[in-house]
Amino acid sequence: MHMKVEIFRRTVKDRRRGASWDLLQHMATGIKACGDEPIIVNESKVGPWDKNEMEPTAPIGCMFGYGGTNQMHHTKGRRRDLVERAKKKGIHIITFDGGILSSFGNTITDPNHHWRVALYSPMNNGNFLSDNSPPDRWERMKKIWNINYSPWRKSNQDDPILFVLQPQDNWSMNELDPIKWFNDVYEKLRPMTDRKFIVRPHPNHVAAMEKRIDEFPADVQVVIGQKFFKGDEKKHYRFNYQDALNNCHAVVTHNSTACIDSCIRGIPTFVTSDLALAWPVANRDLSNIETPEYPDRDQWVYDLGYKQWTEAEIKDGTVFKRFKKKLGL
């Protein structure tokens, strides 16, 4: 059945260039390949956010990213407004975001880059239509990026705990200040363990974290770039994230996609937000920091394989055809 599908251009920045806008155009190509009609909503509009510009009318819409409930930035606000309006009308919104498994090589510059594709949100509160997936796509990704899917690691007594911070302006943080998040977690964990705490701020926010270095507790090691700035090792020496990851007792993060990589590597991982894509296999109770659980991960990694798709699969209609079929449209 011929179907109109709305693509909401204003869920990406007004400059109308870059990977996110290209991806929505690729989706339009894929929709056409399925015999349906893509409609670009407000393709040429720029400027302030109009109250009713994100009103969906077609059975399916497409957007990029997600908008947290507390975020007022115009692009994130438009995304949130669109999702809220669509859910009230029973309209499906397909959303895209950067791929997962980045530490294994799934970066935006990689020719095999896979993009997350889900309904309403590209985090754990979205629906990827991937439950109980077969292992084929996961096995293919393992070969592409040479992923070492490791057994759960049992740590040594003196292994540190690695904290992975996120940028405050990222929609997955929903305006939560990363240092406040860490200090709150620190207050809960410090009485429970004598292990060394290593804090890795987000690489894109190194300068901002360096200016606020004194807001961290004195006994933690904060990694700024490749240097430890606080704690008992103040020397300027190279910090290797992969080495730190592979030799820590556990990873603690809010909902960073780094939690996926650490769980695949067999590192016990604690998350404090149910938006985390590792939520099904991560530890959630900080009081278990010294006795983490080690759940089975096989079905979880199989489902990861169906949470992300290549540009070619988006352009040739594979993704849209799959979503239509899963939604019964």
CATH number at residue 242: 3.40.50
Which residue would you say has higher pLDDT here, 229 or 58? 58
Q: Report the alpha-carbon distance of residue 96 to residue 99 in Å, rounded.
A: 9
Whether residue 188 lies inside any domain: the answer is yes
pTM of the model as a whole: 0.92
**Domain match, 76 and 168 both:** no
Is 240 domain-assigned? yes
Query: Is 202 contained in some domain?
Result: yes
Quick one: pLDDT at residue 229?
A: 59
For the stretch 133-148, pLDDT in tens is 999 999 999 999 999 9
Domain holding 77, by residue range, is: 4-137+304-327
Distance CA 224, CA 257 (A): 20
Residue 151 lies in a domain: no
Mean pLDDT rounded to a whole number for the chain: 90
Does residue 172 sit in the same domain as residue 287?
yes
Number of Cβ within a 10 Å radius of residue 97: 22
Q: How many distinct structural domains can be found in the chain? A: 2
Q: Given the DSSP bridges, would you call strands 92-97 and 114-119 parallel, antiparallel or unpaired?
A: antiparallel
pLDDT at 55 over 60: yes
- pLDDT the model gives residue 175: 77
Residue-wise pLDDT for 155-196, tens only, equals 999 999 999 999 877 767 777 899 999 999 999 999 999 999
Residue 229 lies in a domain: yes
Average pLDDT over residues 299-322: 98
pLDDT at 167: 81
Tell me the mean pLDDT in the region 209-224: 88
Same domain, 126 and 191: no
What digits encode the pLDDT tens for the residues 225-271?
A: 666 656 555 555 557 888 888 899 999 999 999 999 999 999 999 99
Mean pLDDT of 124-128: 96
- Measured between alpha carbons, how far is 165 from 162 in angstroms, rounded to an integer? 10
Within-domain flag for 142: no
Provide Rg for the chain, Cα atoms: 21
pLDDT for the residue numbered 226: 60
pLDDT in tens, 14-38: 766 788 999 999 999 999 999 999 9
Task: Spell out where the chain has E strands.
Answer: 4-8, 37-41, 60-64, 92-97, 114-119, 161-164, 197-200, 221-224, 227-228, 250-253, 269-271, 308-310
Tell me: do 42 and 114 sit in the same domain. Answer: yes
Distance CA(9)–CA(65), nearest Å, equals 12
Instruction: Say if residue 277 is in the same domain as residue 192.
Output: yes
* Residue 181: φ, ψ to 5°: -55, -50
Domain shared by 178 and 131, yes or no: no
Q: Which residue has the higher pLDDT, 107 or 89?
A: 89
